Each structure stands twice: as C-alpha cells, then as structure tokens.
Chain A
Amino acid sequence: MASLVDAVTRSRVWRSFFRHGFPDNPLDRSLVMTTNIFFHLHPVKVNLKSLKVTYSFGLGVITVFLFVTLAITGTLLMFYYVPSVERSYGDIVILQTQVPFGQLFRNLHRWGAHLMVLAAVLHMARVFYTGAYKPPREFNWGVGVVLLILTLGASFTGYLLPWDQLSFWAITVGTSIASYEPLMGATIKKILLGGPEVGQDALTRFYALHIMVIPAFLALLIALHIWRVRKDGGLAANET
C-alpha cells in the first residue's frame, strides 16, 4: 500500500499537478497554499485569534459557500428552465413534479438565496462591530458593500424567474421603487424592464443578469475581497 502511494505521488502525472510534497512540514505547508489557486487567496499562516469562532462566526466563509451552492444548484435548474412568458411557469411545474430531485434542487436554490442575503448582512454587521473596516482595510470594506448590493441584485433578479403571481407582483413593486428617482427613475425602470411593465423583455433581461452578469461580478469581487483580506494582514483580530 505504502509503495503504491509512493508510486502514485512520485509519478510524473502527480508531480505535474502538485508542485509540493506531502504537507506535513513548514515548507510544503507553505507551498500548498501558494501553489493552489484557491488556497492562495488565503495567507500561508494565520493568527490563532482570527480563528476564534466567537470573533467572526465564519460568516464570510458561510456566504461564499452559499454562493458556490447557488451556482451549482442554479446550473442544474438552468437545464430545465427556459426564460419565456409562455414556458417558464410550466418548466417550474415540470421541474417540481417530473424531474428527479427537481423540487429539492429548487428548494435548495430558493432557501440558499435567502440565507445568502442574511449571511451577507450578518457578516457586514460583524465586520462593523469588530472595527475590521479600519485602516488599512477601508477599500475592502467598500468591496464588501458592493458585494452586498450585488447579492441583493442576484436575489431580486432570480425572484422573477418562476413567473408566478408572487414573482410578477414582487418585481412590479420592487421596480416601481426604483422609478421614484426624480430625474432618472423612468429611464432606470425602462432599462431594467425593457418596457413600461413586467413582461417578456423584463424576463429576458432579469435572466441574463441573474445567470451571467451578476454572478460573474460576484465571483470576481469575492476573489478580490478574500485576496485583499490576506493583503491587508489577515483578519483584524490578530491586531488586538
């Protein structure tokens, strides 16, 4: 067994994937972080204070994990969904009644989205109350504010897609709030909806924003946000 593991980890294929040895020593534990694109967003070493559960409650990690869950379940939903006034509602009904685990995946996507909004708000409150926005983290706080707005945008655009009474009237009410802007209101509403009221054009635009534009910006800014935590010296907890 040991020689088999040895043979695998010494093979050219394995070594082309992983450019470090087994991470049981300081050098390889550093390399595992710096040579992996996901790990490299983290620092190589972290302060024990920043790992205390009652400091951060892991809210940022929870938010990111919910985003990943939503991307996966959302992709599966896309396989069965067409953003069309004629088809969308029927697609959801078929998804829930005939597609194996379709209802479950829709539930995961729906409740995950609500939880992500909640987790992002709680994360912001945590960062504020621990004074973690203070210099040198001003910029990353701003990135976080933009991420919260994008999260709301992702949830709001997804809300329309089932094309039932709940989504139709929620988006009608929601976009009418935007139209109260005195100078640009009517224009903003028209850009969002593609017309005077919620219809096929609005569904097309909300779908494009929901599955492509907003997730792309979210993924990019989440990466920036986490990387910046490392660049700014890790969590603020280690400064106390």
Chain B
Amino acid sequence: MAEVKTEQPFAQSSMKTYSLVELVRGAPTTMADKGPDNTVFAFPVVALLELVIALGVSALLMIVALLKNAPLEELANPLVTTDPAKAPWYFMGLQELLEHMHPTVAGVLIPTLAVLFLLAVPYLDRSRVGAGKWFGGAREKRVVWFTAIYALSVMPVYVVLDNAFPVRELLRDALPPLLAQAVIPALIMAAIVAIPVFVVARTSGQKATARQILLALFTLLLFSAIVLTVAGFLFRGPGFKLFFPWDMPDGYNPLNNF
C-alpha cells in the first residue's frame, strides 16, 4: 500500500531560527520604549469626562434654546426676493468672495483648492516632530501669530478697498472679461496669500520647514475665512452693500439670518 503523503504546513525542524524582516528608521510609531507608562484605565475616567462634556453642552444648548427662538419668516415665495438674499452663515465667506471676483473663481476654484489643500496637509508635512504639542515650538507659534494678525488686518482692508474700487468693474472695458473678472482678481488674492508665506520662508534663518509653511497657509485660510464670513454675514445689508451691523437700513438685522 502506497504511503499517503501528508501535508506539513510547518517544517518540523529548520536550521533557520530567525530572520531580519525590516529595518525601521526614525521614531517608532508604537507605544514601545516611550518612557514611563503614564496611562490610566479609560474606564471610568474617560467615560466620566465625556459625561461631564455631554452635560455641559446640554446645559449650554438648553439655555440658548430657551432664550432665543429659531427664526421663521413668511412662507417661501419665489416671486418675492428678500433683500439681501443670503446663504447660511458658513457659506457667507464664499458669497462675500463672489462680490470680488468671477463666480467660477470664488465659488468653485478657491473652495476646491481649499479642500484639496486640507486633504493634502499630512502628505505635505511628513515629519513627526512636534506632533501632539500646540504649534510645536516658539518659531511655529510666531508664524501663527504673524499670519493670523496679517489675515485679520489685510483681508478687511481688501474687502473695503475692493468694494470701494472694484477691480473687476474698473477694468471691465479695458481688458477682456476673462482677465478682468477672473485672472486679475485671482492674482490679487494669490499675492495676498503668497506675501506672508514668502516672509515666513525667508526670515526663518535656516530653511523653513514644511510645518512652518503649512502653519502659515492654514492660518491664512482659517482667518481669511473668518474675516470674509463675518463681512458677508454681519456687514452686508440691503443690495448686498456694506453697512455697519448696528446701522442697517430698512430695519434689517443680520443676526436674524441664523
């Protein structure tokens, strides 16, 4: 009778007892060799903290809901346009931008670039230095302060100036529409962003890190969005013209748009 060959998944004895699998460069991503164990059991500490947050948010939300009613205007009427007609507050930054440049640039190109930039962030800055620490270092903190103050001061000036002397209107007859409406306003916006990034890149003494450039870009994006949103939401009144929020004509109150 022929001997049936049984399958053997593992060799019973091998001369080789171990092998080199991989060399890992840089800091390990695991918790191994990370100094003294500074951990606690998540239960009940984290569960209790989350309960405290839940109660705090509930209390705050309940107080707001008791004090202020959600707005309800008249029945929707496609024949009667409200003045101004505004998007929800988180899109007012985009609607404000629409006042300053071609709608494809303001409504499509810039938001698409912003989302792509956000998605690309961790792939542009691959270093693990400073992870888990606010800003990461003294110089990084200064970059954030500089770009935040820059955006908070330059963007309002841009809104007011471009409103008083609208580039796209002044150049309407002098240049082809594509240049006047899209290219030149986009270049102005690009310059507003590029100047502080250039300053950050050049003044760092040594070569600026990817983290520092990203901090500058993200801060510019965040604080410009805040300025544009506030401008559109609070300072735009009837005819989508600029007014002080407390000085709106026709009894229009921008806070009723929440």
* Residues of A participating in the B interface, judged by any CB pair closer than 8 Å: 23, 26, 29-30, 32-33, 39, 42-49, 51, 55, 58, 61-62, 65-66, 69, 85, 89, 92-93, 96, 103-104, 106-112, 114-115, 117, 124-125, 128-138, 141-142, 145, 149, 152, 155-156, 159, 162-170, 172-174, 177-178, 180-182, 185, 197-199, 233, 235-240
**Shortest Cβ distance from residue B103 to the other chain A in the assembled complex, whole angstroms:** 4
Closest to B256 in A: A166
Tell me which residues across on chain A come within 8 A of B31, comparing CB atoms. Answer: 233, 238
Find residues 74-97 in chain B having any chain A CB closer than 8 Å to their own CB.
74-78, 80-82, 85-91, 94-95
* Residues of B participating in the A interface, judged by any CB pair closer than 8 Å: 29-31, 34, 38-47, 49-50, 53-54, 57-58, 61-62, 64-66, 68-78, 80-82, 85-91, 94-95, 98, 103-104, 106-108, 115, 118-119, 121-123, 125-128, 130-136, 144, 211, 215, 218, 222, 256-258
Q: Are B73 and A141 in contact (CB under 8 A)?
A: no
Contact of B29 among A69, A130, A136 (CB under 8 A): A136
Q: Are B132 and A111 in contact (CB under 8 A)?
A: no
**Shortest Cβ distance from residue B110 to the other chain A in the assembled complex, whole angstroms:** 11
Known A125-B222, A129-B135, A239-B132; judge A137-B122 contact (CB<8 A).
yes
Tell me which residues across on chain B come within 8 A of A173, comparing CB atoms. Answer: 85-87, 91, 95
**Shortest Cβ distance from residue A129 to the other chain B in the assembled complex, whole angstroms:** 6
Q: Are A163 and B75 in contact (CB under 8 A)?
A: yes
Tell me which residues across on chain A come within 8 A of B104, comparing CB atoms. Answer: 180-182
Contact of B89 among A58, A114, A134, A177 (CB under 8 A): A114
Contact of B61 among A23, A115, A152 (CB under 8 A): A115
Instruction: Beyond the given A39-B42, A107-B70, A164-B73, please list 8 additional residue pairs across the A-B interface where CB-CB is below 8 A.
Output: A39-B43, A46-B42, A110-B258, A134-B130, A141-B122, A173-B87, A181-B107, A233-B31
Tell me which residues across on chain A come within 8 A of B88, comparing CB atoms. Answer: 155-156, 159, 170, 174
Tell me which residues across on chain A come within 8 A of B134, comparing CB atoms. Answer: 55, 129-130
Tell me which residues across on chain B come within 8 A of A132, comparing CB atoms. Answer: 131-132
Closest to A42 in B: B42
Q: Are B72 and A92 in contact (CB under 8 A)?
A: yes
